[in-house]
């Protein structure tokens, strides 16, 4: 009897625990546009060690989905914009996509897929309407394919949108509505989402407000209060995130969908590549957001708990820098899985837990030779080649390496190229200019990185060790 009572109590506890986890819990975006991505199993361990229960992916990489199998982590899988045309024009292609990239992973007992993100910010103004004709038909075809696969009730579709799909003529949230050029399309999409009990997903970036407008009031980008709050018919806004989110709530409301659930698909702050991208401001923003999130505090119009995914987990050194040099620095963790700053994102209060078992390449750097002639006509093309094929986004005004002198930033460029190319000798052969050193050229603010070992580099390494062991055995 005693045992049975205990068992019932235990089951109740477990039920309670799961239902609590279901409601709360921050998600993260796991992007993979890196020259040396961390192994998926390492990332999944990192997610678990940090108590992160939800991830958002930008595609459907089978290695990543395998690593997420039986992890207990909820997954949003993405369909990249360049597949929208195919998904829109062929029901069969949509069915194949669902079979291969969803059903296969769900049925093998494994991956807890909850959402399909159809496209990624497809209506961004800078795309000039490229995906306007295909997004809704792709959404419809994927939804139908999910139903046909028997997954219609467990998996929801959504279209992660940039906050530029809505606007407010006066700046007041209550004047919010969908952008004029795509108004009818947005209403059709929202109607379809609503019919299928699916959420609206929006990416909101206060950092971009500050980046694009030098006169933007800095404190209004954060969550610590603002001296000149916005009063919108009695609703008080002291931060731009709330005002932006509620502009969407008004837009939905105005078009008859006031109760549609909203997911914040991306929210975060970069740590380099811009004068406002640094550790202090990123910590201030993300902790400000997380403190409210953990407390279950929403916006003036939706005051309850929120659903959100931080952007992003790890820095990606091969992202396009067309939007700005900050693009490669959104991670809570550096490229090698080291946490960047103190952050409480859940019940753990002693900071983020870094990746374990990550091996770096040897402590070697490629730098400008002390004797090199700066007037050599090889300097400019060498630096430009290195920066185009590696990552110089930590150079420039207000960035972590912005304080280097001219020799310092040439060295930085050379080293980045050398590390991205796994420290092969040929990657430190800038004509008459470069040399390899084992003395760390880093300064207090500026880190000259050492790349991590990737699977292929490690395989070569372990082959060498096997060969060596074989020779030792043969010798004995």
Ligand X SMILES: *[C@@H]1O[C@H](CO)[C@@H](O)[C@H](O)[C@H]1NC(C)=O
Site stretch for ligand X (CB under 6 A), options 124-132, 192-200, 289-297, 299-307: 124-132
Spatial distance between the Cα atoms of 160 and 204, rounded to a whole number of angstroms:
11
* Least distance in angstroms from the C-beta of 362 to ligand X: 21
Site stretch for ligand X (CB under 6 A), options 112-120, 176-184, 191-199, 401-409: 401-409
Residue 392 binds to ligand X (criterion: CB under 6 A): yes
Residue 372 binds to ligand X (criterion: CB under 6 A): no
Backbone φ, ψ for residue 2 (5° rounding): -55, -45
* Nearer to ligand X (CB atom), residue 301 or residue 395: 395
* Nearer to ligand X (CB atom), residue 247 or residue 434: 434
Site for ligand X in 220-279 (CB under 6 A): none
* Nearer to ligand X (CB atom), residue 308 or residue 433: 433
How many beta carbons lie within 10 A of that of residue 202, not counting itself? 24
Question: Which of residues 7, 70, 100, 458 is near ligand X by CB under 6 A?
Answer: 100
Spatial distance between the Cα atoms of 261 and 76, rounded to a whole number of angstroms:
16
Residue 395 binds to ligand X (criterion: CB under 6 A): yes
Q: Is the dihedral of CA 349, 352, 355, 359 positive or negative?
A: negative
* Nearer to ligand X (CB atom), residue 101 or residue 437: 101
Site stretch for ligand X (CB under 6 A), options 41-49, 283-291, 388-396, 456-464: 388-396
Residue 127 binds to ligand X (criterion: CB under 6 A): yes
Residue 89 binds to ligand X (criterion: CB under 6 A): no
Q: What is the DSSP string of 103-148?
A: IHHHHTT--EEEEEEESSSTT-GGGTTTTTTTHHHHHHHHHHHHHH
Which of the residues 121, 132, 212, 316 is marked catalytic? Answer: 121
Size of the site for ligand X (CB under 6 A): 18
Question: Which of residues 406, 465, 466, 467 is near ligand X by CB under 6 A?
Answer: 406
Establish whether 121 is a catalytic residue. yes
Which of the residues 95, 266, 316, 327 is marked catalytic? Answer: 266
Spatial distance between the Cα atoms of 255 and 234, rounded to a whole number of angstroms:
22
Q: What is the DSSP string of 34-55?
A: -SSPPPHHHHHHHHHHTT--EE
- Site track for ligand X across 33-62, x = CB under 6 A: --x-----------------------xx--
* Least distance in angstroms from the C-beta of 318 to ligand X: 4
Residue 318 binds to ligand X (criterion: CB under 6 A): yes
* Nearer to ligand X (CB atom), residue 80 or residue 303: 80
**168-174: long-range contacts at Cβ-Cβ below 8 A with a sequence spacing of 24 or more?**
168/247, 168/250, 171/230, 172/230, 172/232, 172/233, 173/232, 173/235, 173/237, 173/243, 173/246, 173/247, 173/249, 173/250, 173/301, 174/232, 174/233, 174/235, 174/250
Residue 132 binds to ligand X (criterion: CB under 6 A): no
Residue 101 binds to ligand X (criterion: CB under 6 A): yes
Phi-psi region of 337 (alpha: psi -120 to 50; beta: other; left: phi over 0): left
* Least distance in angstroms from the C-beta of 62 to ligand X: 8
**C-alpha distances out from residue 303 to 291, 296, 298, 429, Å:** 14, 8, 4, 59
Establish whether 22 is a catalytic residue. no
- CA 217 from chain centre, in angstroms, equals 26
Active-site positions read: 121, 266
Which residues form the interface with ligand X (CB under 6 A)? Answer: 35, 59-60, 80, 96-97, 100-101, 127-128, 130, 318, 392, 395-396, 405-406, 409
């Amino acid at each position: 009897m005693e045992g049975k009572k205990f068992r019932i109590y235990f089951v109740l506890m477990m039920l309670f625990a799961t239902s609590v986890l279901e409601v709360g819990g921050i998600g993260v975006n796991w992007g993979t546009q890196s020259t040396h991505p961390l192994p998926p199993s390492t990332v999944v361990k990192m997610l678990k060690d940090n108590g992160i229960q939800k991830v958002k992916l930008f595609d459907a990489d089978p290695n990543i989905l395998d690593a997420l199998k039986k992890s207990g982590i909820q997954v949003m899988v993405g369909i990249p914009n360049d597949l929208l045309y195919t998904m829109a024009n062929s029901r069969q292609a949509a069915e194949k996509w669902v079979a291969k990239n969803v059903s296969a992973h769900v049925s093998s007992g494994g991956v807890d897929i909850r959402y399909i993100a159809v496209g990624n910010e497809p209506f961004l103004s800078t795309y000039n309407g490229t995906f306007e004709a295909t997004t809704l038909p792709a959404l419809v075809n994927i939804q139908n394919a999910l139903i046909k696969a028997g997954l219609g009730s467990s998996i929801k579709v959504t279209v992660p949108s940039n906050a530029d799909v809505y606007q407010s003529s006066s700046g007041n949230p209550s004047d919010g509505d969908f952008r004029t050029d795509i108004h009818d399309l947005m209403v059709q999409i929202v109607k379809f989402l609503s019919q299928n009990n699916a959420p609206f997903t929006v990416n909101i970036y206060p950092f971009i407000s500050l980046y694009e407008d030098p006169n933007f009031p800095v404190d209004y980008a954060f969550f610590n209060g603002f001296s000149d709050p916005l009063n919108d018919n009695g609703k008080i806004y002291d931060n731009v995130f709330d005002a932006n989110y509620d502009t969407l709530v008004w837009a939905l409301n105005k078009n008859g969908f006031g109760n549609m659930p909203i997911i914040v698909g991306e929210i975060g702050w970069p740590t380099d590549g811009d004068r406002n991208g640094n550790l202090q401001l990123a910590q201030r923003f993300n902790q400000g957001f997380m403190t409210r999130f953990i407390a279950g505090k929403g916006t003036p119009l939706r005051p309850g708990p929120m659903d959100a995914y931080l952007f992003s987990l790890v820095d990606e050194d091969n992202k396009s820098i067309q939007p700005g040099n900050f693009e490669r620095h959104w991670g809570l963790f550096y490229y090698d899985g080291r946490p960047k700053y103190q952050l409480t994102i859940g019940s753990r209060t002693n900071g983020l837990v870094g990746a374990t078992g990550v091996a770096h390449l040897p402590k070697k750097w490629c730098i400008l030779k002390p004797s090199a002639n700066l007037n050599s006509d090889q300097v400019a093309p060498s630096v430009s080649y290195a920066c185009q094929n590696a990552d110089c986004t930590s150079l420039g005004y207000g960035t972590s390496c912005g304080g280097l002198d001219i020799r310092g930033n040439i060295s930085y460029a050379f080293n980045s190229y050398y590390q991205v190319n796994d420290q092969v000798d040929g990657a430190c052969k800038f004509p008459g200019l470069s040399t390899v050193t084992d003395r760390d050229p880093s300064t207090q603010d500026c880190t000259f990185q050492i790349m991590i070992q990737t699977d292929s580099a490690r395989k070569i390494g372990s082959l060498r060790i096997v060969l060596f062991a074989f020779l030792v055995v043969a010798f004995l």
